Amino acid sequence: MSIAITEKDLPASLTPEQAVEAAYSHELADIASKLVRGLPVLVECDKELAPYIYKNVRDRLRQQKISCLLLNGQQQNPPAGMPTGLIGTMIAQLRDAVRGVVSDRRVVAMPHLDLLTTSQGGLTGEAREVIPLLYENPEVVWLGFKDPSFPLPKVIENLFPHWVGFLGTARTRLRHLITQKESRKFGREFSPWQLYKYVSGVNAVRLRKLLSTLEGEDYPADPKRAYTQVRQATLSGAMEIPSVDLDKDIGGYAKLKQRLKAEILDVLTKRDTTTDPDQIARLEELIPRGMIFWGPPGTGKTYFAKAIAASIGAAITIVSGPELKSKWVGESEENLRQIFHKARQSAPSIIVFDEIDSFATARGTYTGSGVEHSMVNQLLTEMDGFHKDELVFVVGTTNFMESLDPALLRPGRFEFHIHIPYPDEDDRRDILKIYDKKMRLGFSAEAIEYAVRRTGDNYSTPTGTPFSGDHLNALCRAVARLRMREDLQGETTPKLVERGLTEFEERVELDDKDAAMVAAHESGHFLCAIFCPHHAPPEKVTIQSDMPWSPFFTAFKHDKRRIGHSRNELLDILTVLYGGIEAERLLTGDVSTGASGFGNPRSDLARATELASIFVDTLGMSSLAAPLRTFRDKDGRREVLSGSQAEAIDRQVNTLIVECQARAAAILAKHKDDLIRLRDELLEKKTIEGERVAQIIADLRAKYPKDVGAPGPAVPPLDGPKQAQAEKEKQAVGRTPTDSANGDS
């Protein structure tokens, strides 16, 4: 069966009353049936729809010999002494309806219940007089009308055991709500199902007004103008249609884009182009309605949501999680309900809850007022209330995925959990090219590559984090300001990129003595890494960093695909960590505080001690019998052990450190001349990286093929004799080399 219909199948004309009957005949019959049985009904609908619903229900009741009394606050020629004003008249009418003598069956309709409530859902002064009247006569059958924008107090809600909501129209009824003349604005191949995508949340009366005002020619080759008019007319509140292209405006993240297209956009495209109702229904079952975009700040989580909205022509509203909270009881939940109501009216739409973790943390973990518990429940209720033919999506963004309530993350709610990490090298290149084009910066090829490298894994932002998309945007804006201030017209060079990053940052200035010590230290790390065959090779060393929190460092190539380390790799890492302090000792006859960093937990000595401890008591890589469990608790602290067990572990850790430190010293002593040359070059150039690093490594491999070309001897497993020897040496000297390094530092 095809969903396409011909023009002659559509009505020639429609009145609002006919449209309401065509759209809601089932719901209207249900309301009338309950009222006939004496059951009060509350109708939730837009103000403009309420009069037509009342008239339809009234006519149905008349056929059952039941009259309706409308308390609308209007009265012609009121008698003397009659209260004036809408509220006063309504109260007087209500009093007469409740206390008057009625000889026939009657339904009393109240179309303005919202006038009895405050914006927080409390009772107005007038309502306090009305409430007793509502409950005074149990024989009265009430028909109430509630505007979705206003909450009702429980005391009024409880008056109505039955609640009927009118939001939008059913897809199967849309063909009865558009006339032949109006269908011509959408071309010859008009499909109500295609139009429904944009009007699913519009009530029948508003839809008729919208369609009757469409402009444009009949049977256009491209019906885009008519659909655009419809789309703009259905936006409400803070909803907007973004213009962000997933491919043109967002650089990099190829796999993430591929997933969004395959899982969402392609399914929606298939749904919009198929003509088989059964196939459409099956496709709608596949569309996820909730997504979590998680990752560090500045990586474009909200931007991706906007791109999805633009791709499907959806309106979007961005809601800050903290802004939803209110000190008034029930208002936070009502804020959520209103957001969903407006989004459904403006479908297709996307609701973005920015910082969703601010209120949707796991229930039972709250430390605040507890309103978050109710907000999570309300959010779950709203998401579970979606109809499958409504295109309303919910996106939550968070930096703390692990803190979210598990009930939100199950399939059917926030089904997709999409990680948006810091951009990698290819991502940064694509992002920079987009900003280069948008801002007309004229980046040279060398400048692009320099910016990609300069914002890579070996560098950090002033706050110590990797570079995100927002940081790249800030870099490009800084370059644009430089070009404007100095009226630069040519290409953007690497030098200009560097100025954009560091022009106003303070740098650490070293005197000659400190520079020599620091250069020796970093050269020791650099050289040890080359002669430790299981260690990642160096790719940069500097004593004049552009990052004030890390003024000098040695960086090594990082393979993101690695998920662990072998025993020999860990031993090489330990050796390289001691390369800095041993180079100081060898070249200057002294050691500095550089290796300890004044207690910095990420200093060379702190990392070496931590790694050696984990090597022994957690990874089971020492000569101790592999433990059935680690010697640490769930928080990483060493558990309480017997004296002999703790002593055995400490001996193993100490011996491991002694041997790796001795190995570092031996490597540097053997290659002292190369170490001196490297230190002197570093003192002169301040930074060695790129091709020069590759050349140094190649020269040393050619010069010492046995030391570099083939894997060197790994530190053998620690055994009893080695432990005994280490203890003997410790007693003879009085302290280990590690103790010496820490003491002299």
Q: Of the listed 372, 522, 539, 659, which one is catalytic?
A: 522
Q: The tokens of 500 are what?
A: 């954009």
Q: Residue-wise over 224-234: b if at least 16 C-beta within 10 A, else e? A: eebbebbbebb
Highest mean pLDDT among 184-198, 305-319, 495-509: 305-319
Nearest to 544 by CA among 582, 505, 578: 505
Pick the residue with more confidence: 377 or 83?
377
Q: What DSSP character marks residue 140?
A: P
Nearest to 251 by CA among 306, 303, 317: 303
CB-CB contact of 196 with 348 (8 Å) = no
Q: At what angle do helices 16-36 and 204-212 cross, to 10 degrees?
A: 180
Beta-carbon contacts of residue 100 (< 8 Å; ≥ 6 apart): none
Q: The tokens of 313 are what?
A: 């022509």
The per-residue pLDDT for 739 is 33
The per-residue pLDDT for 326 is 67
**Confidence at 558, pLDDT banded by 50, 70, 90:** confident
In DSSP notation, 537-581 reads: PEEEEESS-S-TT-SSEEEE---TT-----HHHHHHHHHHHTHHH
Predicted TM-score of the model (pTM)? 0.70
CB-CB contact of 660 with 622 (8 Å) = no
Helix ranges restricted to H, 325-370: 331-345
Nearest to 608 by CA among 555, 568, 565, 653: 653
Pairing state of beta strands 538-542 and 414-419?
unpaired
CA distance 312 to 251: 19
Highest mean pLDDT among 288-302, 585-599, 634-648: 288-302
Give the DSSP H or E segment for 320: strand 315-320
**Confidence at 620, pLDDT banded by 50, 70, 90:** confident
pLDDT tens per residue, range 422-455: 999 999 999 999 999 999 999 999 999 999 988 9
Encode 607-676 in three state secondary structure.
HHHHHHHHHHHCCCCCCCCCCCCCCECCCCCECCCCHHHHHHHHHHHHHHHHHHHHHHHHHHHHCHHHHH
CA distance 558 to 518: 23
Beta-carbon contacts of residue 437 (< 8 Å; ≥ 6 apart): none
For residues 194-213, give the mean pLDDT.
90
The per-residue pLDDT for 561 is 65
Pairing state of beta strands 538-542 and 687-689?
antiparallel
Pick the residue with more confidence: 705 or 63?
63
Is it the case that residue 545 has pLDDT exceeding 70?
A: no
Cβ atoms within 10 A of the Cβ of 118, count? 14
Pick the residue with more confidence: 434 or 502?
434
The conformational region for residue 364 under phi > 0 = left, psi -120 to 50 = alpha, else beta, is left
Nearest to 428 by CA among 394, 468, 476, 399: 468
The per-residue pLDDT for 584 is 94
Q: Which domains does the chain have, with CATH numbers?
A: 16-165 (3.40.50.300), 254-419 (3.40.50.300), 425-502 (1.10.8), 512-744 (1.20.58.760)
* Spatial strand order in the sheet of 349-354: 315-320, 349-354, 392-398, 290-294, 414-419
% of the chain beyond a pLDDT of 90: 37
**Confidence at 1, pLDDT banded by 50, 70, 90:** very low
Q: The tokens of 563 are what?
A: 């998920």
For residues 652-660, give the mean pLDDT.
91
Residue 248 CA to its chain's centroid (Å) = 21
CA distance 467 to 462: 10
CB-CB contact of 147 with 47 (8 Å) = yes
The dihedral sign for the CA sequence 201, 204, 206, 209: positive
CA distance 582 to 580: 5
The per-residue pLDDT for 269 is 86
CA distance 546 to 552: 9
Residue 282 CA to its chain's centroid (Å) = 28
CB-CB contact of 570 with 547 (8 Å) = no
Pick the residue with more confidence: 392 or 724?
392
pLDDT tens per residue, range 287-319: 888 899 999 999 999 999 999 999 988 889 998
Pick the residue with more confidence: 206 or 709?
206
Is it the case that residue 473 has pLDDT exceeding 80?
A: yes
CA distance 525 to 434: 38
CA distance 555 to 538: 6
**Confidence at 732, pLDDT banded by 50, 70, 90:** very low
Cβ atoms within 10 A of the Cβ of 743, count? 9
Q: What DSSP character marks residue 457?
A: T
> Mean pLDDT score of the chain, rounded to an integer?
82
CA distance 19 to 5: 19
Q: How many CA atoms lie within 13 A of 83 on its CB side?
A: 13
CA distance 323 to 182: 42
Residue 136 catalytic? no
For residues 266-275, give the mean pLDDT.
83
Beta-carbon contacts of residue 136 (< 8 Å; ≥ 6 apart): 98, 99
Is it the case that residue 588 has pLDDT exceeding 60?
A: yes
Question: Collapsing DSSP states into helix, strand and coil, what is residue 590?
Answer: coil
The per-residue pLDDT for 508 is 65
**Confidence at 635, pLDDT banded by 50, 70, 90:** low
Beta-carbon contacts of residue 350 (< 8 Å; ≥ 6 apart): 305, 308, 309, 314, 315, 316, 317, 343, 392, 393, 394, 395
The per-residue pLDDT for 740 is 31
pLDDT tens per residue, range 96-150: 888 775 656 789 999 888 777 765 556 666 777 778 888 888 888 999 998 887 7
CA distance 518 to 486: 36
The per-residue pLDDT for 445 is 93
The conformational region for residue 73 under phi > 0 = left, psi -120 to 50 = alpha, else beta, is left
The per-residue pLDDT for 737 is 32
The conformational region for residue 465 under phi > 0 = left, psi -120 to 50 = alpha, else beta, is beta
Q: What DSSP character marks residue 362?
A: P
Pairing state of beta strands 106-110 and 349-354?
unpaired
Highest mean pLDDT among 5-9, 207-211, 237-241, 702-706: 207-211
